[in-house]
A and B are shown apart, each in its own frame.
Chain A
Amino acid sequence: MQERYPSPSSAEAVPALRVRDLTRRFGDRVAVQEVSFELAAGERLAVIGPNGAGKTTLLSMLAGVLAPSGGEAGEVTGRIGWVPQQPAVYSKLSVAENLRLFARLERLPDPEAVVEEMLEQTGLGDRRDEQVSRLSGGNQQRLNIAIGLLSHPSVLLLDEPSSALDPRQRERLWEFILGLSRQGTSVVYSTHNVLEADRYADRVLVLGDGEVLFLGRPSELAATVSGEAGPDFEGAFVSFLRARGH
């Protein structure tokens, strides 16, 4: 049995994020259809599904990058931080310069203090003056997350945060995210690695062709296919999708 990391907050607490019937169409194609959920403070929600299910589109709408065709998503208790799948940083600038630039663009009252805080929080203090293009993929992703955290958001959105990382970098990344969660930051992340959903999420949201196929605890997803699947979550997930024609 894998170790799990329960969220300190319960789902019944005041929601940090409320999503209602969120829909996005591209022409005639419906990429995301009427997705609704609430997220408690400190809760971690994993968005999983096959390729083209609408995971990135959903997170882009939650981040405000993509305008929804219908429905609404709004933060209730604070700001939303966003960490795109590919590091959204300037490779010619140093770590500190990237943080300082976005802190200034965020119009934070004391940019330098926030930069120092993020450098310490992400463990990039000794790399502060290094040009980003010379950083490893793991460190670039840490910087990517640090920029998403500059405004101390109550909700952090991560689009496949570990996809380009090796196992050791992934482990350090999740330690960092779990630390944020313990401090009360709600986290929504999409992933292709369903084991990361099982291991680190309080709840999973399964998307298929833009529709919500399941929203609940990982153990509940496994229970829906008990008897058909093997003992692991990945097997349960595959059986779940197959049963629903995906």
Chain B
Amino acid sequence: MRWLLVKDLQILRRSPLLVVILVLYPAAIALMIGFALSSPPGKPKVAIYTGVKSGHGKIHFGTQQIDVSSYARELFSSIQPLPARSAAQATEDVRDGRALAALIIPADITQQLQAMLQGGNGNPTVQLVLNSRNPLERNLADQAIQARVDQVEQAVSKKVFRLVVHDLQQVLNGGVVNLLGQNVPLLGLRNVRTIVDGTIQSLPRSSKLLPALHQVVAFADIAIEGLAFAGPEIGTIGTPLTVQRIDLAGRTTPIASYAVAIAAVVSLMFVTLLLAAGLLALERSENAYSRLVRGLVSPEALLGEKIVLAGAAATLLALVLAAIVSIFVPLEWSRFELWVLALGVSALAFAALGVAIGGLAREVSTASLMAFLLSLPVAFLALVPGTAVSGGVGTALDVVSFAFPFRAGLQAVGNAFSGAAPGMAWPLVHLLVLALAFGILARLALRRFATQ
């Protein structure tokens, strides 16, 4: 096996383009993942047209006023606003691709809001124009704006509720109200009750006013009690539900470590599959297989040599990838030996799959194509969460993912990088079983390898 390893390394050394691609590929993935994880999310460019004239963005509510323009500035902080002179131009900006979306605010939005707040009438509406040519970009713009609109709505609600509560408190306790620039004292229910109480005390017991005044006191008591509770209750309407998050499975893999694990396993898979499948198929393409198995090398030793070479090379490259990404994302270097174990066993399973592909394809270009075509859907299907699809499809995805090393490799490597639950033992056993199964398949494929 030693001389075959030397031979394959000589061949790789004389295939500089292949080696460069195999080295650059994981390095490029590592850098892309690193930059993606360490860079802030981009802001979508959105054309903005507002028909509201400057200084006309204030809504009067009771004795207070709300400045809508301050909320508009908050909305614009999550996007790159592209001012438009008209609604038509904003729409045209989207159509021409200068903006991902357009937000059109009608001139009477202030009046619409005013009417709704005062009378509960109407449905104030702004227009969002989205370009549907690229669904991903459409989704990005939609989500960015919708999320911020939700925040603005919540902020306006809170402001309104605060004003309502403030006014109620004044009705309850009294205070000073500004009406048309004049400060007017407001008596308040509690003071009214005190005055009525004093009046009752000062009246003779036979006074005919007493029953009516007692009715006023009773009403005041009920009103005071009700309004005293009304403030906090109204305050909760703006945020009626609070979500308390509880993670049941102990530590979860941090999203950054998970992304690094995906990058490492994808690179590991491509490099191992392509090397193992290609190197085995090369033995037949060069017509050397028949000569080798005439007592020089057993088929099992030949498969073992390809698995060892492809697995070791891919593990090394994946470790390099992890080292590069660790510049951007903190990884637990204290678990380095577990990285090597998880990546090595994953590479073993992928290499066994690779030699099975090489044995079945029997030709270098076919083997490479098969390896490539197989690896993409295997990775994609393994990354689809089972709970995100219907029951039958989820089961099918689980079966496919179970039959190939990607998901188990991802679990093992993700755990090795972060130490998160659910542990490495089961994924490693799964990978070893898959390696054995694919090794047997490769050995069976070699039975027809020598025939022309």
A interface residues (Cβ-Cβ under 8 A, vs B): 56, 60, 63-66, 82, 84, 86-93, 97, 101-102, 104-106, 131, 147
Contact = CB atoms under 8 A, between A and B. Distances in A.
Given A97-B10, A105-B297, A131-B14, A89 B286 contact: yes
A92 B11 contact: yes
24 contacts: A56-B452, A60-B290, A63-B290, A63-B294, A64-B294, A65-B290, A66-B450, A66-B451, A82-B294, A84-B291, A86-B287, A87-B287, A88-B286, A88-B291, A89-B286, A90-B11, A90-B286, A91-B286, A92-B15, A101-B7, A102-B291, A105-B296, A106-B296, A131-B14
Contacts, number: 58
A38 to B, nearest CB: 22
A149 to B, nearest CB: 13
B288 interface: yes
B292 interface: yes
B287 to A, nearest CB: 4
B296 A102 contact: yes
Interface string B292-307: 1111110000000000
Contacts of A66: 450-451
B127 to A, nearest CB: 65
A222 to B, nearest CB: 32
B364 to A, nearest CB: 12
Interface in B278-322: 286-288, 290-297
Task: List the 5 closest A-B pairs by CB distance, nearest first.
Answer: A88-B287, A105-B296, A88-B291, A92-B11, A86-B287
B229 interface: no
Contacts of B294: 63-65, 82
Contacts of A84: 287, 290-291
Q: Dominant SS at the B interface? A: loop
Nearest to B451: A66
Contacts of A87: 287
B409 to A, nearest CB: 31
Contacts of B4: 105
B278 to A, nearest CB: 13
A233 B6 CA distance: 49
A134 B288 CA distance: 18
Contact of A93 (B11, B291, B293, B450): B11
A63 B291 CA distance: 9
Nearest to A131: B14
Nearest to A80: B294
A66 B292 CA distance: 13
Contacts of B6: 101
Given A90-B11, A92-B11, 11 more contacts: A82-B290, A84-B290, A88-B286, A89-B287, A93-B14, A101-B7, A102-B291, A105-B292, A105-B296, A106-B296, A147-B291
Nearest to A26: B451
A147 B288 CA distance: 11
Given A90-B11, A92-B15, A131-B14, A105 B3 contact: yes
Interface in B2-25: 3-4, 6-7, 10-11, 14-15
A104 B2 CA distance: 10
